[in-house]
Amino acid sequence: MTAISFSVKSWAAWTPAADGLDQWRGAAPAAAAPILLRRRIGRLGQRALQAAWAFSAVLPPDAPPRLVFASRHGEFSRTLSILEALAEGAPPSPADFTLSVHHALAGLLSIATANHAGHTAIASGADSLYHALLEAAACQTERPEQPVLLAYYDEPLPPPYDDLEPGGETIALVLLLAPGGRALRLEHHPAAGPAGRHPGRDLAAVLDGGAAAVFQGDRLRWTLDGDR
């Protein structure tokens, strides 16, 4: 068993509502992000950047946060568009090609906020969110004075790839790790069953006041609860 403690100062989670409107939990961002963080970006990526921008804006200019971005597949519709273009013998869209790389959103946010603190992009299957949380917590432990901004965004795979990975969730979840927030503890153990499908929803429930979450990843079982 390995455990690490950290502090979450603020968080926001977006999921699409049945009526098509935005549905936020936690500290919903009050305003839209600048055009750089909206132009040519899909709805899911826009919501992740909107919350990340809002949290960055309240931090002192001399204390830029370390950025940790995570997603299982990124904005997969771009990857699918590239594959379809190549299958038809056509060149892929320059915008799709540029924004399909896994750290594209982190790069855009760092440019928009003039943040030179560095960023990490993580993709590790069903464990992606919790590996990102482990990375963010380790950054906070290493430099307690530096805030850490974690952004996770994910959505189910579209056809024809949905047969390979059924289920899933559509969510954009952003956490600001900084001193003075809610103390949490993360543990991980060897996995012992099929992977879960709703890591973002489970984590948001804990941040919203729930006691604990246990999530089964591809290789590890994660437990998040209040620090003891």
Domain ranges of the chain: 11-182
Q: Between β-strands 220-226 and 212-216, what pairing exists: parallel, antiparallel or unpaired?
A: antiparallel
Burial of 113 (0-12, 13-18, 19+ CB in 10 A): buried
Q: How many other C-beta atoms can be found within 10 angstroms of the C-beta atom of residue 171? A: 24
Longest dimension (CA), the chain: 58
CA–CA gap between residue 180 and residue 88 (Å, rounded): 54
Average pLDDT over residues 130-155: 94
Q: How many other C-beta atoms can be found within 10 angstroms of the C-beta atom of residue 74? A: 25
> Rounded to 5 degrees, what are φ and ψ at 123?
-140, 110
Contact 22, 14 (CB under 8 A): yes
**Percentage of the chain surpassing pLDDT 90?**
44
Residue 228, pLDDT above cutoff 60: no
Q: Where residue 1 falls among pLDDT bands split at 50, 70, 90?
A: low
Strand partners, 224: 186, 213
pLDDT tens across 160-177, in order? 888 887 778 899 999 999
Q: Which fold has domain 11-182?
A: Peroxisomal Thiolase; Chain A, domain 1 (3.40.47)
The one-letter code for the residue type at 35 is I
Sign of the four-CA dihedral 201, 207, 211, 217: positive
pLDDT tens across 28-56, in order? 887 778 887 888 888 899 999 999 999 99
